[in-house]
Each structure stands twice: as C-alpha cells, then as structure tokens.
Amino acid sequence: MKRTIIVMMLLVLTAGASAALAATDPYQISTSLPDTKISYQTLEEGKLLVSVTDSDEKPIQGLTQDEFVIRQAGKTARIISVEPLETSQEVGLNIVLVVDNSFSMRLRNAIAPLTQALESVYRIVRPIDQVSVVVFDEKDTLTVNGHTLRAKVKQSDHMTDLQNFLRESMDSGLTEGTYLNEAILAGVDLVRKMPAKNNKFMVIFSDGEDINSRVTHSEITKSVQGINNFSIYAVDYMPTPTLDPFLKGLASSHGGYAWKAGSPAELVSVFEAFSSTLLHRYIVTYRFISPPAGNLVFPDPELKIEELTTIDSAPLLNHVYFDTGRSQLTDRYILFETRAETAAFDERQLRGGMDKYHNVLNILGQRLQANPGVTIRLVGCNSDMGEEKGRLDLSRGRAEAVQAYLRYVWGIAPERMAVEQRNLPEAPSNIRIAEGRIDNQRVEIHSDHPAILETVDSEYVTKVSEMGTLRVVPEITSEAGVTEWQLTLGCAGRDVHTVIGNGPLPEQLAIPLTSNLLDGFAACEAIDAHVIGKDNEDNPLDSRSAEALPVNFVQRTQQMAAVQGYRVQEQYALILFDFDSAAIKDRNEAIVNRIITRIGQMPEALVLVVGHTDNIGSEAYNLQLSERRAKAVEKQLMSAAPGTDRLIVSGAGPNNPRYDNALPEGRALNRTVTVTLEYFQQP
C-alpha cells in the first residue's frame, strides 16, 4: 500500500526565516470566498494539498474547482480537479506528533483529557497515513547532529501500537524535566529523512515551559530551515494566560496555527479543531496553460522571381495640388533648395508614375530650360467651398508659388510663366464630397508646345513574380490566444521583411510582393519565417518555418545565355481622363500613335488594354466607366491598325488601384487606361 508521511510538528521561526520562505513561495492561491486563509504543500508537479480556513481557523468544506484560482509568475493555471483529502485513497498524511510527557502532566490532571483529546487524531488516521510519535525519555537517549537528546521515537503501521506507546509514556514514562526542544529536534530529524516531495505535518503538544533542554530556540529555528512541504501546528497547554510566542511564530511561519488551551475541556476542543483542519483539505490538480506552439508553413513550392525589362512611358500629370486654405507647396513634392542641386536631375532615372509625378516641377523646370522660347500658363484654382469659397486670391497665390519655385530654383524667367486664377477648374471633380473638393484645390499647367508636357520615358530592369503575394500559414496552437506578434522573413541570418500585428494570428498571411521586397528576396537561396509574440498569459510565442521556401531567381543574363530572350514589358499610361469621363484628350494622341507604331513593329507582342478609375462613386458605376475608357482606347488602336487580334481589353474600375486613392494625385493617376506590350527580346 502506498504510504507517504505527514509530520505534525510545532516549530518557531525567526522573522527573517519567515520572509525567506515567503520569497520562495512560487504560487498565489485564492478562492472565490472572502476572508479566507490558504496554505498548501506540493504533492507533485501539477498537484497541491491545499488548506482553506475561515477567520476562526475552521476549515471550509465543499469547495469545487470553479472556486479555486492558482497563479504563478503572472500566469493562471487551469484547475483540472478538486478532491477532498478525506475521500482520497492515494494521498496519505505523514504525521509526526511531539507530546510533552513531563511529570507536570500528572500534577495538572492533564493526562486523562489529553488521552481523550488524542482520540480525535486517531479517528482521522487512515490506513494510507503514517504517524510517528516523539516523547521525552530520561533513560534512553538519541544522537542527532551531535546533540544527545532525551527523547524516544515510536514508528508503527498500527495505531494500536502508537496508542499503547503514548499510554505507557503517560503512565510509567513520565519525566522529571521538560525537554520540549530536544523532542522537537528528534521530530525534525524524522522529517528530514522523508522524501522532499512528500507532505509533512508536525503537531507539538506542550504542557510547560522548556527549562531542561540542551537545545535552544535558535537551534530549532535553524534545523527546520529549507524543509519543503512542511507545516507545523501547536497546542499550548502551559499554565500561562497568553500563547507561547515561540510556538505561535513557529506555526505561522510554516503554514500552520497555534492554539491556546486553558482547561481540560478546551484541550479536547482544540484537538478536535486541529484534527478537522488537518483532514479537511483539498487535493487540487492543475495545469498551467501551455505556451503557443507549432510551425510556420509556406503553402507554395517555391518563389520564382524574374528580371523584367520595363519601358515605362507615363504622360505628365499637369496638376499641382494644395492643402485646404493653403498656398504653400506640400512636402509630398520633391523640391530642390538651390539651383546647384538641379544639375544632377535626370527624368530618365525616375521609376513609376508616382515618382515621376512628385518630380513634376523639376521635370517642367528642366524642360523649360531645354526649350528657352517656350511659355506656359499657370492657372490657380480652389474648391469654391467653405473657407475657399470665392477665394481668387488663394488661387492666384497657389499659381504664384509654382511660378516662384520654377523662377528661383530653375532660373525660368517670370515672363515665360503667365499666372491666372479662377475658382473651380474648367473640368472640376465632384464638389459634393471631400475628395472631389480636394481634387479641385490645384494649379493647372498648360503649354502649346508638346515638349513641355510630353511623356516621361524611362527604361529599367525590375524584379517580378507571378505569385503576387508571399503566403505564410501559421500552424500554431495557443490555449490562451495570441495578443501580439511579429513575423520576420529573411535568409542566412538577414531580415528582409517584418510584419507586426495585434490579436490572433491570421489563418494565412499574404505579404504583397512589392518591387523592394523582391529585390531583397532575390538575394536569398531560400526564405525562412520566424514569428515571435505572446499570449494572454504572457507566455512567449516563438515559432519558425518547418521548411524554408526555395527561391528560384531567373536573371536577365541567364535568360540571354539560354538563348531564350528576356522578358520585356512596355507600359503606356493614358492619364488625364477628366473626372467621370471616358473622352481621350488631344494630348494623348501622341501616346496612342506611339503605341500603334510599336504594335506594328512587334507582331509577336501581347497587348493588354486595362481601364481604371478612382474610388469616388459606386464600384458598379466605376467598373462600367473603366470599361468605357478601355473601349475608347481599343477603338483608336483598331481604327489605326485594323485586323489586330492581339488585344485583350478589360476594365478594373477602382479595384487593384495603381496609386494611392487617399491622395488627389493618386486619384488623378488612377483615371487612366494602361496599354502594356509584353514580349521576349532576343539577345
């Protein structure tokens, strides 16, 4: 039969020892009831023996698992089960009972009431419990740690043997002196021989002050230091009005309690209370919530990256936008501070429509320098609403701000730049919505010379991938849920891209494969994913990809070496569709003619014609508008090159916008049709 040992013993600790014990206590246990005192011992990992008493030290019975809370280092455990100790057949009590059997017991007529009181202890002892008894003995001695102790120990599996031992000790075994400290030290020796993981209880009964021991209080205090799973209880039956301070401190420092019994009747009731406290405990089984665990998975077999030669022809958007009520150029535009800085500017180095647009004033300045006889008109406009209502002075101030930049930074003579002002533009956006009003807060640049507002052409090599997005699937379980996380993609110890989020991890993360991101991944042989974070219990999240994602980077030089040619994409954007219009303006004719010429020169090229809109208005209407714009371009291309069957025409509406619709220039650039020629250029 499984046996553990519960030691019942009363010891006193100094305040310093008490503080040290509290500092090493790893658990915070509470219940849903107010004004309770809780102590515990660790039975094993995930299982505690818990005592819950009220303010009168009476055990509280009938608690369930829903009423217990266990925390450790800020983390909350999941309570699996709560079982009363008295019904358990697995957890036994290990008791050491230290009993004062000095001659004063007979003088005070205490032997009979003590014998009766001990019956309450005998009743709670079960077959799986083990009890050891220590009494005084002046004939035989024990040696413990160099001390000769006048004490005797009885250990037995049978309660009858222990009862007879105590009866003899109170009859023929009474001692003249009181050796309580020596008996306690003998009990501590029994406790220290028990396995550290076992629970241990010690109960000390004292009838009088210890005046004969060779063991001091400080030696007792030292002897009990560092004993795990150890509780002490005391019964003070000394003929004094107050509770012995040594016994009181010792018990409270070890999760127990000390009682004062002043009469035989009180002695019986105290032992009954103690026995109830000892037996009515709870075996609480718990488990701390596991930290998040799992892997990151790439659902795609590889990331294929190709180098693409892009011939980008973007008409120049001839609008400069201003903040509401302001006539200063915004910091979105790339502006030089001195004329010397303009020397290194080259519009052919610009990539993408937005980069080209934000350099619009520099492009104009350089072109006006290159064409000294050409003039332009700067027409300032306002939204004609709110604080801008009828503000022709504001419109003129805006035009003059553009003129001043071109004059003082690019050296363009002011007489070459006529300044005009009006309220709404000639072709305004919708004034009923905020976006439309902001679109109207602009300076329009006009010129009769085609070189000034000619397309901005550039050629560059970019990296592309047909995947569009890099997908990462977090196959991670988290009992407490994830509160914050950070996903890092990289290779060979180098971070390429980081995504930060709050709340649960998405079922799948889709990272857009931008040009900059593809540049970073192209240098990797394979991509690793690493996510860190924490859950609601502050458990750490730290997971990596089970397998790296291979990168297949096909460079232009490799394509040429394979005599398969390299991919070329010629892209033309027909901007300057007016708001809510599908009419192609005259200044787009040059671009259309160039496209027609290229289609004739490249009979193998696939031609994609895609219409776009801004996000003002309904999606259904904008889809139709984008299709009308695409059809208008298709009509011109087909009329100039009849029989062409390589055109694929579609309307994207506001979906997949090419530029940021939060900006007025983004909305203007999105009112477009793009024509793309795709082909392989032979080496």
pLDDT along the chain (683 residues), means of 10: 30 26 61 90 90 90 93 86 89 92 92 91 88 94 93 91 93 94 95 89 92 93 91 92 93 90 89 86 90 94 87 87 97 95 94 90 97 96 96 98 97 97 94 93 94 88 88 93 95 95 94 92 96 90 95 67 59 74 76 83 86 90 92 82 75 87 89 85 63
Which pLDDT score, from 0 to 100, does residue 566 have?
A: 61
The per-residue pLDDT for range 605-614, each reduced to its tens digit, is 888 999 999 8
Instruction: Give the separation between CA 128 and CA 114, rounded to whole angstroms.
Output: 25
SS3 of residue 492 by DSSP: coil
575 and 609 belong to one structural domain: yes
108 and 256 belong to one structural domain: yes
550 and 576 belong to one structural domain: no
Instruction: Give the separation between CA 562 and CA 556, rounded to whole angstroms.
Output: 10
469 and 434 belong to one structural domain: no
List phi, psi (to 5°) of 226: 85, 5
Which pLDDT score, from 0 to 100, does residue 575 have?
A: 63
Cα distance from N-terminal residue to C-terminal residue, the chain: 89
300 and 327 belong to one structural domain: no
Torsion of CA 224, 13, 228, 200, to 10 degrees: 80
Q: Taking the CB of residue 539, how many other CB atoms lie within 10 A of it?
A: 21
Long-range pairs of 364-369 with CB within 8 A, sequence gap ≥ 24 = 364/406, 364/445, 364/452, 365/405, 365/406, 365/409, 365/410, 365/412, 366/342, 366/410, 367/451, 367/452, 367/454, 368/406, 368/410, 368/412, 368/416, 368/452, 369/410, 369/411, 369/412
568 and 545 belong to one structural domain: no
Q: Taking the CB of residue 326, how many other CB atoms lie within 10 A of it?
A: 14
Show the tokens assigned to 393: 């002075």
Choose one of 508, 526, 554: the last residue of a domain.
554
301 and 335 belong to one structural domain: no
Which pLDDT score, from 0 to 100, does residue 391 have?
A: 97
Which pLDDT score, from 0 to 100, does residue 576 have?
A: 64
- Confirm if 156 and 133 have CB atoms less than 8 A apart: no
SS3 of residue 160 by DSSP: helix
Show the tokens assigned to 627: 């299709």
445 and 475 belong to one structural domain: no
Q: One-letter amino acid identity for 513?
A: L
Q: How many CA atoms lie within 13 A of 282 on its CB side?
A: 26
Query: Whose structure tokens read 């009858």?
Result: 160
Which pLDDT score, from 0 to 100, does residue 641 have?
A: 60
What lies within 8 Å, CB to CB, of 541 at 6+ separation is 291, 292, 476, 478, 482, 485, 531, 532, 533, 534, 535
Identify any residues that bridge with 498 across adjacent strands, giving them in sequence order.
Answer: 488
Domain ranges, residue 243: 15-24+85-280
Choose one of 406, 430, 454: the last residue of a domain.
454
Which pLDDT score, from 0 to 100, does residue 15 have?
A: 26
Which pLDDT score, from 0 to 100, does residue 594 have?
A: 83
537 and 579 belong to one structural domain: no
529 and 403 belong to one structural domain: no
Which pLDDT score, from 0 to 100, does residue 597 have?
A: 85
**Total structural domains in the chain?**
4
